Protein backbone atom coordinates (compact mmCIF):
# COMPACT_ATOMS: atom_id res chain seq x y z
CA UNK A 1 0.00 0.00 0.00
CA UNK A 2 0.98 3.60 -0.52
CA UNK A 3 1.22 6.57 1.77
CA UNK A 4 1.08 10.34 1.71
CA UNK A 5 3.54 12.04 4.04
CA UNK A 6 3.24 15.65 5.07
CA UNK A 7 6.09 17.49 6.76
CA UNK A 8 6.28 19.05 9.19
CA UNK A 9 3.33 17.89 11.31
CA UNK A 10 3.42 21.11 13.32
CA UNK A 11 4.74 24.47 12.17
CA UNK A 12 5.05 27.60 14.25
CA UNK A 13 5.95 30.72 12.35
CA UNK A 14 6.26 34.43 12.91
CA UNK A 15 4.24 37.16 11.27
CA UNK A 16 5.57 38.00 7.79
CA UNK A 17 7.65 34.86 7.55
CA UNK A 18 7.71 32.69 4.43
CA UNK A 19 6.82 29.11 5.37
CA UNK A 20 7.02 25.96 3.23
CA UNK A 21 4.98 22.80 3.69
CA UNK A 22 5.93 19.57 1.92
CA UNK A 23 3.95 16.59 0.71
CA UNK A 24 5.19 13.28 -0.74
CA UNK A 25 3.13 10.37 -2.13
CA UNK A 26 4.21 6.97 -3.39
CA UNK A 27 0.93 5.94 -5.05
CA UNK A 28 2.21 7.20 -8.41
CA UNK A 29 -0.92 9.40 -8.53
CA UNK A 30 -1.03 12.05 -11.23
CA UNK A 31 -2.99 14.74 -9.41
CA UNK A 32 -2.11 16.38 -6.10
CA UNK A 33 -3.95 18.99 -4.05
CA UNK A 34 -3.49 21.40 -1.19
CA UNK A 35 -6.48 22.23 1.00
CA UNK A 36 -6.83 24.54 3.95
CA UNK A 37 -9.06 23.35 6.79
CA UNK A 38 -10.59 25.85 9.20
CA UNK A 39 -13.14 25.02 11.85
CA UNK A 40 -16.65 25.61 10.53
CA UNK A 41 -15.45 26.34 7.01
CA UNK A 42 -14.72 22.87 5.73
CA UNK A 43 -12.01 22.22 3.16
CA UNK A 44 -11.02 24.96 0.74
CA UNK A 45 -8.81 24.30 -2.28
CA UNK A 46 -5.62 26.34 -2.46
CA UNK A 47 -3.70 24.80 -5.39
CA UNK A 48 -3.75 21.61 -7.38
CA UNK A 49 -1.51 20.01 -9.97
CA UNK A 50 -2.57 17.60 -12.68
CA UNK A 51 0.94 16.42 -13.47
CA UNK A 52 4.59 17.24 -12.87
CA UNK A 53 5.33 20.96 -13.34
CA UNK A 54 1.63 21.79 -13.69
CA UNK A 55 -0.01 24.26 -11.29
CA UNK A 56 -3.65 25.31 -11.06
CA UNK A 57 -5.10 27.86 -8.66
CA UNK A 58 -7.96 26.98 -6.38
CA UNK A 59 -10.40 29.30 -4.67
CA UNK A 60 -7.95 30.29 -1.93
CA UNK A 61 -4.65 30.74 -3.80
CA UNK A 62 -3.96 34.35 -2.83
CA UNK A 63 -1.11 34.47 -0.33
CA UNK A 64 0.25 31.08 -1.39
CA UNK A 65 2.66 29.63 -3.95
CA UNK A 66 3.04 25.99 -4.93
CA UNK A 67 5.59 23.82 -6.68
CA UNK A 68 5.38 20.38 -8.35
CA UNK A 69 8.91 19.57 -9.50
CA UNK A 70 8.43 15.82 -9.28
CA UNK A 71 5.37 13.64 -9.76
CA UNK A 72 5.67 12.36 -6.21
CA UNK A 73 5.98 15.68 -4.40
CA UNK A 74 3.97 18.87 -4.08
CA UNK A 75 5.01 21.76 -1.85
CA UNK A 76 3.07 24.77 -0.64
CA UNK A 77 4.54 28.10 0.45
CA UNK A 78 2.78 30.62 2.64
CA UNK A 79 4.32 33.78 1.22
CA UNK A 80 3.76 35.99 4.29
CA UNK A 81 2.32 34.42 7.41
CA UNK A 82 -0.49 36.36 9.06
CA UNK A 83 -0.38 36.96 12.82
CA UNK A 84 -2.74 34.75 14.88
CA UNK A 85 -3.34 32.53 11.86
CA UNK A 86 -4.17 28.98 12.84
CA UNK A 87 -5.19 26.30 10.38
CA UNK A 88 -4.58 22.76 9.19
CA UNK A 89 -3.22 22.27 5.69
CA UNK A 90 -4.13 18.99 4.03
CA UNK A 91 -2.40 17.45 1.03
CA UNK A 92 -4.24 14.91 -1.11
CA UNK A 93 -3.64 12.91 -4.26
CA UNK A 94 -5.75 11.05 -6.79
CA UNK A 95 -5.31 9.04 -9.96
CA UNK A 96 -7.61 11.46 -11.73
CA UNK A 97 -10.97 11.18 -13.44
CA UNK A 98 -13.64 10.02 -11.03
CA UNK A 99 -11.31 8.48 -8.48
CA UNK A 100 -11.43 9.42 -4.82
CA UNK A 101 -8.80 11.38 -2.92
CA UNK A 102 -6.23 10.04 -0.47
CA UNK A 103 -5.31 12.60 2.18
CA UNK A 104 -2.24 13.10 4.30
CA UNK A 105 -2.60 13.66 8.03
CA UNK A 106 -2.04 17.40 7.77
CA UNK A 107 0.32 20.17 8.85
CA UNK A 108 -0.91 22.28 11.73
CA UNK A 109 0.17 25.90 11.40
CA UNK A 110 0.28 28.50 14.14
CA UNK A 111 1.55 32.02 13.54
CA UNK A 112 2.61 34.07 16.54
CA UNK B 1 -23.09 26.93 -9.51
CA UNK B 2 -21.64 23.77 -8.04
CA UNK B 3 -21.89 23.38 -4.29
CA UNK B 4 -22.44 21.00 -1.40
CA UNK B 5 -24.47 21.97 1.64
CA UNK B 6 -24.20 20.38 5.08
CA UNK B 7 -26.32 22.35 7.53
CA UNK B 8 -25.46 20.48 10.72
CA UNK B 9 -22.19 21.73 12.15
CA UNK B 10 -22.28 19.63 15.31
CA UNK B 11 -24.27 16.58 16.33
CA UNK B 12 -24.21 14.94 19.77
CA UNK B 13 -25.74 11.50 20.27
CA UNK B 14 -25.72 8.71 22.81
CA UNK B 15 -24.46 5.24 21.93
CA UNK B 16 -27.02 3.18 19.95
CA UNK B 17 -28.83 6.32 18.74
CA UNK B 18 -29.79 6.73 15.09
CA UNK B 19 -27.56 9.04 13.04
CA UNK B 20 -28.77 11.20 10.18
CA UNK B 21 -26.53 13.83 8.57
CA UNK B 22 -28.11 15.97 5.91
CA UNK B 23 -26.30 16.65 2.62
CA UNK B 24 -27.61 18.29 -0.53
CA UNK B 25 -25.73 19.20 -3.66
CA UNK B 26 -26.08 21.48 -6.64
CA UNK B 27 -24.64 20.77 -10.09
CA UNK B 28 -25.70 19.82 -13.59
CA UNK B 29 -25.72 16.26 -14.78
CA UNK B 30 -24.77 13.24 -12.70
CA UNK B 31 -21.92 13.79 -10.25
CA UNK B 32 -20.10 11.21 -8.16
CA UNK B 33 -20.90 11.59 -4.46
CA UNK B 34 -18.73 10.80 -1.47
CA UNK B 35 -18.67 10.75 2.30
CA UNK B 36 -15.34 11.21 4.04
CA UNK B 37 -14.63 10.72 7.75
CA UNK B 38 -11.89 12.47 9.67
CA UNK B 39 -10.77 11.17 13.05
CA UNK B 40 -8.91 13.44 15.46
CA UNK B 41 -5.32 14.08 14.37
CA UNK B 42 -5.73 12.37 10.99
CA UNK B 43 -6.60 13.38 7.46
CA UNK B 44 -10.03 12.65 5.97
CA UNK B 45 -10.48 9.12 4.64
CA UNK B 46 -13.03 7.78 2.22
CA UNK B 47 -16.06 6.27 3.94
CA UNK B 48 -18.20 5.55 0.90
CA UNK B 49 -18.89 6.71 -2.63
CA UNK B 50 -21.68 6.30 -5.15
CA UNK B 51 -21.32 6.98 -8.86
CA UNK B 52 -24.75 6.01 -10.15
CA UNK B 53 -27.96 7.87 -9.40
CA UNK B 54 -30.47 6.06 -7.14
CA UNK B 55 -27.81 3.65 -5.90
CA UNK B 56 -26.89 3.18 -2.28
CA UNK B 57 -23.40 3.07 -0.83
CA UNK B 58 -22.56 1.44 2.48
CA UNK B 59 -19.56 0.91 4.68
CA UNK B 60 -18.98 0.05 8.36
CA UNK B 61 -22.73 0.28 9.06
CA UNK B 62 -23.09 3.69 7.38
CA UNK B 63 -25.37 4.13 4.37
CA UNK B 64 -26.09 6.90 1.89
CA UNK B 65 -28.42 6.92 -1.10
CA UNK B 66 -27.76 9.02 -4.19
CA UNK B 67 -31.17 10.67 -4.69
CA UNK B 68 -31.15 12.53 -8.00
CA UNK B 69 -34.71 13.76 -7.52
CA UNK B 70 -34.01 15.63 -4.29
CA UNK B 71 -30.28 16.15 -5.05
CA UNK B 72 -29.45 14.66 -1.68
CA UNK B 73 -26.92 12.19 -0.29
CA UNK B 74 -27.79 11.94 3.41
CA UNK B 75 -25.64 9.77 5.67
CA UNK B 76 -27.33 7.36 8.08
CA UNK B 77 -26.34 4.79 10.66
CA UNK B 78 -28.82 2.81 12.72
CA UNK B 79 -26.80 2.55 15.91
CA UNK B 80 -23.78 4.77 16.52
CA UNK B 81 -20.88 3.87 18.78
CA UNK B 82 -18.35 6.03 20.60
CA UNK B 83 -15.70 5.13 18.00
CA UNK B 84 -17.83 6.85 15.35
CA UNK B 85 -17.03 10.23 16.92
CA UNK B 86 -15.38 12.17 14.10
CA UNK B 87 -15.98 14.87 11.51
CA UNK B 88 -17.96 13.78 8.44
CA UNK B 89 -17.66 15.53 5.09
CA UNK B 90 -20.03 15.19 2.18
CA UNK B 91 -18.31 15.74 -1.18
CA UNK B 92 -19.21 15.89 -4.82
CA UNK B 93 -17.24 15.58 -8.05
CA UNK B 94 -19.16 17.02 -11.04
CA UNK B 95 -18.97 14.94 -14.19
CA UNK B 96 -18.35 17.76 -16.68
CA UNK B 97 -14.76 17.61 -17.89
CA UNK B 98 -11.92 17.68 -15.40
CA UNK B 99 -13.39 18.69 -12.07
CA UNK B 100 -12.19 18.88 -8.53
CA UNK B 101 -14.19 17.96 -5.48
CA UNK B 102 -16.62 20.24 -3.73
CA UNK B 103 -16.75 19.60 0.02
CA UNK B 104 -19.45 20.45 2.52
CA UNK B 105 -18.42 22.30 5.68
CA UNK B 106 -18.35 19.14 7.73
CA UNK B 107 -20.41 17.76 10.62
CA UNK B 108 -18.69 17.05 13.90
CA UNK B 109 -20.25 13.98 15.54
CA UNK B 110 -19.77 13.29 19.24
CA UNK B 111 -21.10 10.01 20.60
CA UNK B 112 -21.47 9.83 24.37
CA UNK B 113 -21.01 6.38 25.88
Mean pLDDT lowest for which of A45-59, B22-36, B87-101? Answer: B87-101
Chain B residues closer than 8 Å to A41 by CB: 105
For A62-102, the DSSP string reads TTEEEEEEETTEEEEEESSPPTT-EEEEEEEEE-STTPPPE
What are the pLDDT digits (tens) for A27-60?
Answer: 999 999 999 999 878 899 999 999 999 999 998 9
- For A53, phi then psi, to 5°, come to 70, 5
B89 min Cα distance to partner chain A (Å): 8
* Cβ–Cβ contact A27 with B under 8 A: no
Chain B residues closer than 8 Å to A98 by CB: 32, 51, 93, 95
Report the pLDDT value the prediction gives residue B98, as an integer from 0 to 100: 62
Report the pLDDT value the prediction gives residue A37, as an integer from 0 to 100: 94
> Using the beta-carbon criterion (under 8 Å), do A42 and B104 form an inter-chain contact?
yes
> Using the beta-carbon criterion (under 8 Å), do B42 and A105 form an inter-chain contact?
yes
Angle, CA A46 vertex, CA A41 and CA A48 arms, to 5°: 130
Chain A residues closer than 8 Å to B105 by CB: 40-42
Q: Are A53 and A68 in contact (CB under 8 A)?
A: yes
Q: Is the pLDDT of residue B112 over 90?
A: yes
Q: Is the pLDDT of residue B71 over 90?
A: yes
Closest chain A residue to the Cα of B10, Cα to Cα:
A40
Closest chain A residue to the Cα of B105, Cα to Cα:
A42
Q: What is the dihedral of CA B86, B2, A103, B61, to 10 degrees?
A: 40
Confidence band of B43 (pLDDT split at 50, 70, 90): very high
* Cβ–Cβ contact A48 with B under 8 A: yes
Report the pLDDT value the prediction gives residue A98, as an integer from 0 to 100: 59
Out of A43, A45, A98, closest to residue B32 by CB = A98
* Cβ–Cβ contact A55 with B under 8 A: no
Q: Give the DSSP letter of residue B29.
A: S
Amino acid sequence: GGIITQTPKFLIGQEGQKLTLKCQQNFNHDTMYWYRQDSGKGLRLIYYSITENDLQKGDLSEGYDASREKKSSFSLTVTSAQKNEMAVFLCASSIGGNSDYTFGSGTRLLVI
Amino acid sequence: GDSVIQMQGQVTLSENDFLFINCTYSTTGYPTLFWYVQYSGEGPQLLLQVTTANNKGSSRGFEATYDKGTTSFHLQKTSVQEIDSAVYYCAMRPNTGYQNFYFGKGTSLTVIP
